Amino acid sequence: MKKVLVNQVGFLCNAPKKAVLNFQANEFSVVDGNGKKAFDGKVEHFGTDEISGEDTNVADFSALTEEGKYKIVADGQESVLFTISNDAYDKLMKDICKCFYYLRCGDALSKEFAGEYYHKPCHMTKATVYGEEVEPVDVTGGWHDAGDYGRYSTAGAVAVAHLLYGVRFFKGLLDVHYDIPKVAGDKGNLPEILAEVKVELDFLMKMQRENGSVWHKVTTFNHAPFLMPEDDREELFLFSVSSLATADIAAVFALAYTVYKDYDAEYADKLMQKSLLAYKWLLDNPDELLFFNPDGSNTGQYDEAEDISNRFWAACALYEATSDGKYYSDAQELKNRLEEFDKYAQKKGYQGNVFTCLGWAEVAGLGSLSLLLKREENALCSLARNSFVAEADRLVKVSKENGFGLCMGANDFIWGSNMELLKYMMILSTAIRIDNKPEYKLALEAGLDYILGCNSMDISYVTGNGEKAFKNPHLRPTAVDDIEEPWPGLVSGGPNSGLHDERAQTLRGKGLPPMKCYIDHVDCYSLNEITIYWNSPLVFALSGILE
Ligand code: 9MR
Ligand code: ZN
């Protein structure tokens, strides 16, 4: 089918702007809401690429900078209506931030702020410590991870990290105003994004044992069927501690300390103490303690191959927060070990630069972000800068291999492919601050265009944003709440050529290119689930674009 694919939300006035046609044409025009022509241009033929499998043709209208509502017309085909305006992304930004509020667990939602998406308090019972004869523990609060009701320490830490690094790099995020209630312990001066993040930080504090180690997750033994969160009343379990979770918490609490100290010194000190306690446990327990589900349990495993990147992140974050040289030495030693491990991983087909990996499994890039913030002239800070620039250069190269200008290769279309892209966009938006190459900006914008509809599915992967936004996330409350539309601002996992669920398997054998391995169906947990850490990198990247 002939299609004019475009970012369905729109563009900032001075941003690069393009649409992609999956058919050949000589010319295109941009017309406003009244059908009046606003711009004429020539279509540039690109050709077929391996990610979309389409004959792509590019219509560049960057020169059109006047605010308004427009659509693209070419050869009788029309795009959806989109906006050009400097506030084109205001609603999107509010929506993707407010998602975390709707995902809150415990006694946290109110009808006033959640409206029709309100649900009763959930998961309020104490959790049993799996395999131990100890008192059950109160770990209420935080955010549900995803379409399921699990709460996982590493996933939570990474989502918080994306948001807090976003705040550190791009101050504008502190000025995003949207409706959420005051949170416990807020002295009345927390910007919305920090109030929301505090909800998860408070929960993560409860996940830490007295000895500093951190439980990997709290979930029911198996995933709940499709029901509202308050109806999920199975016993909650705290599964074993892992060095992965402990290191991520040491890191993210140190990072949080650097942000919250400007608002609430007492809370910041508490974060720092807990970070140090976790770090001490790591030093006392140098052997990796990875995580695997006990037999018969099927909730998220979030397994990782090593804990070196997690320990590296913790050392970097503590160095950034305290300037204490001992963390620098630790980070240096871990860097060497990580390089060794990486040589082995690269042999196994792993791609990209390990010092730019931004979670949930590989987190050394989060350590690099702390080093970038430190802005020192030393070996590790240089490594961070060089790694981000080298990776951004690689991404630019990849983006030239397809008509979408998209910095993704066929290998990137895995489970949660949109996060792969969003992490790349985090790298690009950070690299711009080191070396402001125009190519970085082009690749970054193309990434946003892709997420918002300029893709061969012709779908915006953010609910409620774009005329053809996806509507059927694999998300328990949405699936059963009898409300027509899901709440806005949810980011879909996106195409996954691995087709890891039963309904996705119906695409098998159709010879689909990676970009088309997607169905907007509630059953498709491997293509269309949502998670906190698929929303969070978009918050970071969009903040970068708006800066
Ligand atoms: O996001 C995770 C993805 O990278 C993995 O490939 C996948 C399979 O292990 O698991 C995803 O995480 C899921 C988690 O285990 C449980 N909550 C929902 C997450 C998103 O699907
Ligand atoms: Zn809950």
Q: Which residue has the tokens 């970070």?
A: 275
Check residue 349 and give its pLDDT.
62
Check residue 351 and give its pLDDT.
65
529 is annotated as an active-site residue: yes
287 is annotated as an active-site residue: no
CB 208 within 8 A of CB 277: yes
Strands (E), 365-449: none
- State which of 302, 497, 528, 532 you would mutate to test the pocket of ligand 1, scoring each by most atoms of that ligand within 8 A of its C-beta: 302
Q: How far apart are CA 52 and CA 513, in angstroms?
A: 6
Q: Is-same-fold flag (1-88; 90-453+529-546)?
A: no
Tokens of 464: 């409620």
Quote the ligand 1 centre to 482 CA distance (angstroms): 26
pTM assigned to the model: 0.98
Reference 162, options 532, 547, 546, 545; nearest CA is: 532
Check residue 30 and give its pLDDT.
98
474 is annotated as an active-site residue: yes
**Atom 6 in ligand 1: which residue has the minimum CA distance?**
415
Catalytic residue among 223, 307, 474, 501: 474
Q: How far apart are CA 457 and CA 114, in angstroms?
A: 31
Q: Based on the number of CB atoms within 10 Å of its own CB, is 120 exposed (0-12), middle (13-18) or buried (19 or more)?
A: exposed
Check residue 353 and give its pLDDT.
87
Query: Which residues, including other chains, have CB under 8 Å from residue 414's CB and lie 6 or more apart?
Result: 420, 496, 497, 498
- Atom index in ligand 1 nearest the CA of residue 301 equals 15
Give the three-class secondary structure for 15. coil
CATH number of the domain at 1-88, please?
Answer: 2.60.40.10
Catalytic residue among 32, 231, 467, 520: 520
CB 217 within 8 A of CB 277: no
Tell me which H or E stretch contains 39: strand 37-48
Domain ranges of the chain: 1-88, 90-453+529-546
DSSP string, 47-83: EE-TTT-SEEEEEE-TT--S-EEEEEEETTEE---EE
Q: How far apart are CA 109 and CA 85, in angstroms?
A: 33
Ligand 1: residues whose CB is within 6 Å?
145-148, 150, 300, 302, 415-416, 525, 529, 531
CB 229 within 8 A of CB 105: yes
How many Å is the maximal CA-CA distance in the chain? 74
> How wide is the angle at C-alpha 475 spanned by C-alphas 510 and 97, nearest 5°?
110
**Atom 13 in ligand 1: which residue has the minimum CA distance?**
300
Q: How far apart are CA 499 and CA 529, in angstroms?
A: 13
Query: Out of 3.40.1160.10, 3.60.20.10, 1.50.10.10, 1.20.120.330, which CATH number does the structure's domain 90-453+529-546 have?
Result: 1.50.10.10
Reference 427, options 493, 356, 479, 378; nearest CA is: 356
Strand-pair category, 18-21 with 151-152: unpaired
Q: How far apart are CA 18 and CA 29, in angstroms?
A: 12
ipTM > 0.95 for the complex: yes
**Atom 1 in ligand 1: which residue has the minimum CA distance?**
416
CB 364 within 8 A of CB 313: yes
Tokens of 521: 């169906």
Residues of the chain with pLDDT under 70: 348-351
- Ramachandran angles phi, psi of 316, nearest 5°: -65, -45
CB 2 within 8 A of CB 22: yes
Query: Which residues, including other chains, have CB under 8 Å from residue 270's CB and lie 6 or more apart?
Result: 205
- State which of 143, 415, 417, 496 you would mutate to test the pocket of ligand 1, scoring each by most atoms of that ligand within 8 A of its C-beta: 415
- Atom index in ligand 1 nearest the CA of residue 299 equals 16
Condensed to tens digits (0 to 9), the pLDDT of residues 407-444 reads: 999 999 999 999 999 999 999 999 999 999 999 999 99
Check residue 141 and give its pLDDT.
98
Amino acid letter for position 412 = D
Query: Which residues, including other chains, have CB under 8 Å from residue 59's CB and lie 6 or more apart?
Result: 4, 18, 19, 20, 21, 28, 41, 43, 44, 72, 74
Query: Which residues, including other chains, have CB under 8 Å from residue 525's CB and lie 6 or more apart?
Result: 147, 474, 500, 501
CB 72 within 8 A of CB 28: yes
Give the three-class secondary structure for 18. strand
Quote the ligand 2 centre to 318 CA distance (angstroms): 31
Quote the ligand 1 centre to 248 CA distance (angstroms): 18
**Atom 19 in ligand 1: which residue has the minimum CA distance?**
146
- Atom index in ligand 1 nearest the CA of residue 525 equals 21
